[in-house]
Amino acid sequence: MLNLIFSRKLIPLVCGFGLGVLGLAAQAETTSSDLQPKTLLNSNTDTAKGEWVGTKAPDFRLQDQNQQWHSLKDYQGKWLVLYFYPLDDSPGCTEEARQFRDLYPTYVKQNITVLGVSLNDVSSHKAFADKLGLPFPLLADTQHDLAKSFKVLRGFGPLSYSKRETFLIDPQGVIVYHYASVNTESHAGQVLKDIAKLSSK
C-alpha cells in the first residue's frame, strides 16, 4: 500500500518536472537571434552547421494535426520553410507560430509553403493549431526521425525535444538557408525577406 501511495504521488511530480524542463528548454530557445544564418547569400558563414547549405533536403513522411500525410516530394516546385520548434503551447513556440500565422497570406501569395515540426503527437498539434487558428500544417515527428535527419534532436535524459532551427528549401529541394538560431518575434518576416533576396538573384 505504501508503494502504491508513493507511486501515485511520485508520477505526477516526475511528469511535471519533465514538462517543466521542456518548457525551460523551449523558453531558452526563444532568446536566440537569427543574426548569423548559414546561407548561400553569405558564403563565409557556410561553416559548422553550414554543411546543410547547398545539399538536398532529407526526405520525410509525417502526419499533421489533421492526420494528413506530408512528404518532401509534395512540395517540388515550391519554396518550403521547414521550421523546427521544441514544444506545443510554450511561450516562445506560441509567438513564433503566431508570426507565421499573421504573415501566412503573404507566404501563400508568393507560393511558399510553411511546415512546423516538433516531437509532439497529432492530438497535441491539433489542440495547439486550433487554439491559435494556425492555417499551416504542424508535423508530428513522434519517432524523432526528421529531427535526427536534420540533427536538431536534443534532450535531458529520457526527455527529448527538437531545437528551434529553420531550413529554407528551394523549389528544387535544395537547402539554401539554415537558421541555426531564431528570434521568435521577427523570424517569419526575416524568412520572407531572405526568399526575396534569393529569388532576385
As annotated, the active-site residues are 93
According to DSSP, residue 49 is labeled G
Question: Using CA atoms, how far apart are residues 175 and 145, in angstroms rounded to an integer?
Answer: 18
As to burial, measured by CB atoms within 10 angstroms (0-12 exposed, 13-18 middle, 19+ buried), residue 113 is middle
Inter-residue contact 142 to 119 (CB < 8 Å): yes
Distances from the Cα of 42 to the Cαs of 14, 35, 176, 194, 200, in angstroms?
45, 12, 11, 11, 15
Question: Using CA atoms, how far apart are residues 20 and 11, in angstroms rounded to an integer?
Answer: 14
